[in-house]
Amino acid sequence: MFDYKNIHSEDPAVLEIIKKETRRQSEEMELIASENYVSKAVLEAMATVLTNKYSEGYIGHRYYGGNQMIDEMESLAIERAKKLFNAEHVNVQPLSGSPANAAVYMAFLKPGDKVLGLKLDHGGHLSHGHPVNFSGMLYNFTQYEVDVKTGRIDMAKVREIALREKPKMIVAGYSAYSREVEWEKFKEIADKIGAFTFADIAHTAGLIAAGEMVNPVPFFDVVTTTTHKTLRGPRGAIIMCKEKFVKLVDRAVFPGMQGGPHEHIIAAKAVAFGEALKPEFKQYAKQVMANAKTMAEEFTKLGYQVISGGTDNHLMVVDMTNKGLSGKEAESVLDRCGISVSRSTIPNDPNPPMNPSGVRFGTPAITTRGLGQEEVKKVVTWINAAIEHKEETEVLEKIREEVKEMCLKFPIPSI
Ligand code: DSN
């Protein structure tokens, strides 16, 4: 959409890489559950002079002059996000998901405090207490799990652990969990022990904003989300909280964790929130979920083990063990066909995260391109054929051609 004439003359080496990536995105299929394609308007907002500005502080209280328009932009983004999620307060400055989560812990906890979070190989995020992450290093996490038989979070077990451990905070909301979260039950358990409730809705935020999944914002103490997954905005994050926690949260973001916010990204967040408030976005979210359901059903028909037996959202984790390959091998076979996926652990995975047993599939990006359930069925047959014929270069190349043909039929809106 941009003509790139200045990069062309100033820095052809950079332009060459941008062009190659544009071609890759355009001709290949994106099934990574956390990725999406932004609109032209979001892309334009990112490429603006707002990147030139320092604006440490908050609206009306900045540590630099010349922030009148920046104040206007931040309040627009905040007002739209509040409306979208029915939030009492929104901080739109977090640079991305992990820094947002770090700010939440900093706001509500002291190092060493007890927290409850879902284990990484059961679908949690690194920043929900994994020992190699700052969260697991600084705070005393106890990890809950999904029930291995059902693939779902066993709330009776969560209650039992919470009552025993008495954490100061309970974290819910996940990276590789395909079912609706029982937010109200989490809140009820937390209230019993006086714990803070923290929801990380990074994956499902767009579906929640569209009213297609349950929204924890009205009753959880604090909620974070990235803005670039199902919400289809720029790479970044926001924190939402109850009015009574405004000072704690805002101070943790700045000066606690961050310096100058990225105002060009905040402008793009505002555009994305505006888009998500439109009725078309509800249709988009519905289609994302319908596509995911169809995908899970098609995999199941072909003998794949979908964790929890299906999906209520935009993603699913498929155990590749009975197909005779690891998640990493499946990822690389599909890469050769022009289909991007991400390897994933399965609950109690006997293999390490670098070479786990499963693959996570998601439908947000293909739905933005306009693919519907009929196309999704075709995509699953390609995936299955690629896995069954993983050693046969000719078969993989033929699939690659067919994938490309479909992708060119459904162009990415911003390309
Ligand atoms: N990296 C993201 C994902 O793929 O789920 C989470 O931060």
Per-residue pLDDT of the chain (415 residues; tens, 9 = 90+): 788 999 999 999 999 999 999 999 999 999 999 999 999 999 999 999 999 999 999 999 999 999 999 999 999 999 999 999 999 999 999 999 999 999 999 999 999 999 999 999 999 999 999 999 999 999 999 999 999 999 999 999 999 999 999 999 999 999 999 999 999 999 999 999 999 999 999 999 999 999 999 999 999 999 999 999 999 999 999 999 999 999 999 999 999 999 999 999 999 999 999 999 999 999 999 999 999 999 999 999 999 999 999 999 999 999 999 999 999 999 999 999 999 999 999 999 999 989 999 999 999 999 999 999 999 999 999 999 999 999 999 999 999 999 999 999 999 999 8
Name the active-site residue from 19, 82, 185, 235. 235
Per DSSP, 132 falls in state: T
Whether 191 sits among the annotated catalytic residues: the reply is no
| pLDDT tens, residue by residue, 181-218 | 999 999 999 999 999 999 999 999 999 999 999 999 99
36 lines ligand 1 (CB under 6 A): no
Hey, what are 66's tokens? 């010349």
Burial class of 180 by CB neighbour count within 10 A (0 to 12, 13 to 18, 19+): middle
CA 276, CA 364: separation in Å to the nearest integer?
14
| pLDDT tens, residue by residue, 9-36 | 999 999 999 999 999 999 999 999 999 9
308 lines ligand 1 (CB under 6 A): no
The pLDDT value recorded for residue 335 is 98
Please give the single-letter amino acid code of residue 369: R
Give the atom of ligand 1 at the shortest distance from the alpha carbon of 35.
4
Is there a shared CATH topology between the 44-276 domain and the 282-409 domain? Answer: no
175 lines ligand 1 (CB under 6 A): yes
Name the active-site residue from 197, 225, 226, 227. 226
The pLDDT value recorded for residue 321 is 97
Q: Which residue, by CA, sits nearest to atom 1 of ligand 1?
A: 34
Query: For residue 255, is the peptide bond before it cis, meaning its omega torsion is within 30 degrees of 0?
Result: yes
The CA 34 to ligand 1 mean position distance, Å, reads: 6
**What ranges do the domains of the chain cover?**
44-276, 282-409
Q: Among 3.40.630.30, 3.30.1330.30, 3.40.50.970, 3.40.640.10, name the CATH number for the domain at 44-276.
A: 3.40.640.10
Per DSSP, 276 falls in state: H
Angstrom distances, CA of residue 288 to CA of 111, 160, 200, 248, 408: 39, 35, 20, 36, 20
Q: Are 300 and 293 in contact (CB under 8 A)?
A: no
34 lines ligand 1 (CB under 6 A): yes
Whether 226 sits among the annotated catalytic residues: the reply is yes
The pLDDT value recorded for residue 1 is 73
CA 369, CA 293: separation in Å to the nearest integer?
18
Q: Which residue, by CA, sits nearest to atom 2 of ligand 1?
A: 34
Q: Are 154 and 161 in contact (CB under 8 A)?
A: no
CA 275, CA 259: separation in Å to the nearest integer?
28
The pLDDT value recorded for residue 2 is 82
The helix/strand/coil state of 339 is strand
The pLDDT value recorded for residue 412 is 97
Please give the single-letter amino acid code of residue 403: V
Whether 56 sits among the annotated catalytic residues: the reply is yes
* C-alpha closest to that of 206 among 280, 120, 296: 280
CA 201, CA 109: separation in Å to the nearest integer?
20
Angstrom distances, CA of residue 345 to CA of 159, 178, 190, 275: 25, 13, 28, 34
360 lines ligand 1 (CB under 6 A): no
Q: Are 317 and 288 in contact (CB under 8 A)?
A: no
Fold of 282-409: Aspartate Aminotransferase, domain 1 (3.90.1150)
CA 149, CA 157: separation in Å to the nearest integer?
14
CA 212, CA 205: separation in Å to the nearest integer?
10
The pLDDT value recorded for residue 115 is 98
Name the active-site residue from 179, 229, 293, 360. 229
